[in-house]
Amino acid sequence: MVPVARKNLLADKIRLVVSIGGVTFAVILILVVRSLYQGYYREIGAFVDALPVDVWVTQTDSGGLVYSSTVPIDTGTRLSQIPGVARTVAMDRQRLRLEFDGSPVDVIAMAFDLPQSAGSQLGLELPGPGEITIDAATAKKADIHAGDVIDVRGLSFRVSRITSAANLGLSGLAIVSWSDADVLTGIPGYVSSWLVTLVPGTDSSAVIAAIDQNVSGLQAFSRKEYADANRSQVSGTFLPIITVLFTVSFLVGSAVVGITIYTSVTERLREFGVLKAIGASTRTLYRVVLQQSVIVCTVGFAVGVPATYVINRTARSLVPEFITLMRWQDSLLAFGIVLGMAFVASMLPIRRIAGIDPAEVFRG
């Protein structure tokens, strides 16, 4: 079969490169936005996912980690009495603006009611009194190194280590010792949350139901539910923006391919007429046009995917909070969008072809 579509495209290489570039740009835009969304979505729940805690207990309707939550400290005793609960650890947290080298550093600062040496119970290396741990992305962004001194509400804290623990997506993460927890909430007799570990084999949903029933003012979440509660912040904030960006990318890509294919068809209208005259069905001509669009879009996609990887890596090295996750499902989604572009871009040229009068080829 003579590759008429490919030959038509290759006849004007500059136009072909421009149109492939347009699709590549659209694919990059789609994938970068999507991978950024996925990166943040994963990251914002990763801290909760990573902690070996079965049930998170917070003040009712306080949402995820970024929302304030105050729970009376005596509720810990009542929680420990619920059957199936093996251990409870109090957690304090507060959204804070630290100061380093005269510049503000926004974090969610946390403290856990555990001795420094027992941090491994939560999979963490806890700082000692007067020390603070900062997540790597925040440290890189603010140029903070271990040993530096940071001002926290007028008190000086020495950075004990830079942790590779996930940051919280929309905010940095800092950890101080329990003895310094007052610097966070500063409300005596209250903590932010309880982290509950269950006796192995215990059904977490039964414990959650028992907490909700027996301890008023508290809300219990399984680890997954709490991670999702955090992630809903990302989906709630980003999804409308992403939808707009997807639509813009789709329209830009479709327009670029559409203009290219339309120009290519218009220039060859007479040739399409000749094909019609010598017996090509209208469907055959539509196929040629659609093939042209699909070729441009597929090549644009094939260039766009690796280009996105490179852009994501480069951007992450320059901007630490540029947290991305490329998944094959997103590439598949982008390919589906690209095929949609090819289809949309073919509509106008196809309408033009449908109107060709084959008798025109006899007129010089």
Partner 1 sequence: MTEEAQIEEQAIVEASKLSRIYGSGTTLVAAVTNVNLSVFRGEILLVMGPSGSGKTTLLSLIGGLLRPTSGTIRFGGHDLTSMSESERARLRRDNIGFVFQDFNLLSALTARENVEVALNLAGITGKRAVVRAELLLDQLGLSERAGFIPAKLSGGEKQRVAIARALANDPLLILADEPTANLDSYHGLAVVHRLAEIAQDEQRTVIIVSHDERLKEIATRVMWMEDGQLSESGPPTKRLAADAAGGYVTYRPRHVDHHEPTHPTNKV
Work out how close the CB of 280 gets to partner 1 at its nearest, in angstroms, rounded to a whole number. 5
Q: Which CB, 275 or 337, lies closer to partner 1? A: 275
Question: Position 74: which residue type?
Answer: D
Q: Which CB, 8 or 19, lies closer to partner 1? A: 8
Q: Which CB, 62 or 293, lies closer to partner 1? A: 293
CA distance to 256, 258, 328, per residue, from 295 (Å):
14, 13, 21
Work out how close the CB of 341 gets to partner 1 at its nearest, in angstroms, rounded to a whole number. 23
- Rounded to the nearest 10°, the torsion over CA 231, 235, 238, 243 is 160
Burial class (CB in 10 A: 0-12, 13-18, 19+), 328: exposed
Q: Which CB, 11 or 187, lies closer to partner 1? A: 11
Q: Which CB, 274 or 326, lies closer to partner 1? A: 274
Work out how close the CB of 262 gets to partner 1 at its nearest, in angstroms, rounded to a whole number. 17
Under the rule (CB under 8 A), what is the footprint of partner 1? Answer: 1-2, 4, 7-8, 10-11, 268, 270-271, 274-282, 284, 357-359, 361-364
Q: Which CB, 29 or 356, lies closer to partner 1? A: 356
Place of tokens 């800092």: 174
SS in 3 state form for 86-112? EEEEEEEEEEEEEEECCEEEEEEEEEE
Please state at what angle helix 223-267 crosses helix 269-277, rounded to 10 degrees: 80
Work out how close the CB of 8 gets to partner 1 at its nearest, in angstroms, rounded to a whole number. 5
Work out how close the CB of 41 gets to partner 1 at its nearest, in angstroms, rounded to a whole number. 47
Work out how close the CB of 358 gets to partner 1 at its nearest, in angstroms, rounded to a whole number. 5
The contacts of residue 317 (CB under 8 Å, 6+ apart) are none
